[in-house]
Structure 1
Amino acid sequence: MALTQNQVDVNGIMYWLYIGKIFVNDKFLSCDMVMAFDMTSEEFSQVCLPESLALKTDINLSISKLRECLVVLEYNKEAKKRVYGVWMMMERGVSESFTKLYTINRPDGSIRNVLGFRMSREAMIELVNEDDFNQNPIVVYEPSSGNISNIGISGVGFSCFASSYVETLLLLDQ
């Protein structure tokens, strides 16, 4: 049982993925959930995932954010290629509010990692370059068409990440 290093801040609430086990019908089952910490009230809470995500043993989960909403990414760890399901929490703390937005699927199975999302719901993805493992291209996946655009940036296996930011005109005194 452990909190993962994968965390995301959405509107002043920090979320972490929790991977653990629960005891049901005389046996232990893998159970994934999301823990939340509200930085204003300084309170912890639990975000229940839909059963289709929380109790499956053949998938891995990670979290991200899209348009100031929590996003859960699922992929089947037993599959030969990575196919990602993108789920978004529409209402904080309500497991029934998770909606599957779309599935990211590459016929050649070259997805290494989903890094994050643009405001337009496009996913930023690190692909596997079979010819040169030191040059994994970062691409943008457009969900409605399935088109992938190379943005001209490459990374070295799992070394890439994406993070959101907010521009400001606030000047800091030094």
Structure 2
Amino acid sequence: MVIYPTLKEKLDYNYFRSNLPQELVQLQRLRTLSQVQYFTGFTPPSLSNISTLHTLNLSFNPLQTKIPGEIGNLNNLRILNLEYDNLSGLLLIFNGSKIETLALSDNSLSGTLPLDICRRLPKLEGLHRSSNLLDGEIPANISECSQLDLLSLSYNKFSGSVE
């Protein structure tokens, strides 16, 4: 794959047939990586070096893997969408994040929601976690997420209530 130096902001609506190319990390101005279809690997760990990445949407891909912790190094990431990707393993919530939308529905993720989710993700507007293997108490203070306007936790094993 040839990466042109004039590509500055978006790389979306592509049909990669295997892993994302390692050359993506050369795009130091890339803001959006979205709607990449037929991707069967996961993000190269070096993708976390693209400090300008704002949107990472790899939904609807047969990834069948775990979410790499390196995604937490994307300090400017606002939208993370990994829905319908056959992901497994523990649910990851990153600290000090600028995340506004965290969409991980329809996977096989396990674990609990952290009790301090509103402190960890103060800009959170949308939390999509339906149809996973999550359990435990819904944090009683979830209403303290002042920006939250969409909360989807259905089809899990949560207990408790949202006030």
TM-score normalized by the length of structure 1 = 0.24
Larger RCO, structure (CA 8 Å, separation 6 or more): 2
Q: Which has the higher strand share?
A: 1
State which structure, 1 or 2, has the greater radius of gyration over its C-alpha atoms: 1
TM-score normalized by the length of structure 2 = 0.25
Q: Which has the higher helix share?
A: 2
